[in-house]
Amino acid sequence: MNTPQSMMIGWASLLVAAGGSYILAKREIESRRKMQREAGKRDTEKKEWYDRLGDPNANNPLLNKTSTTSPLEPSAADKPPDKT
């Protein structure tokens, strides 16, 4: 059976590992963003999600330029039949 001491050691080691992983990932992401900003591949200003939708340079899978229908509108197969 788990003793209180072994439970505390387990939880403490989990917290230390999670905290360390978070700090390392945050440093990596910040350094990558800094490199992109210096190379001119990343905007320096923050944009809202609705501003990014209209940006032609944004890599947005929802805005498919080859499709004639909007991804937010239901297709003809999804519409209920007309009751006439």
DSSP per-residue letters across 4-73: HHHHHHHHHHHHHHHHHHHHHHHHHHHHHHHHHHHHT-S-SS---HHHHHT-TTS--TT--TT-SS-TTS
pTM assigned to the model: 0.49
Question: Mind listing the pLDDT tens digit of every residue in the chain (84 residues)?
Answer: 689 999 999 999 999 999 999 999 999 999 998 998 888 887 767 777 777 676 666 565 555 555 555 556 666 666 667 776
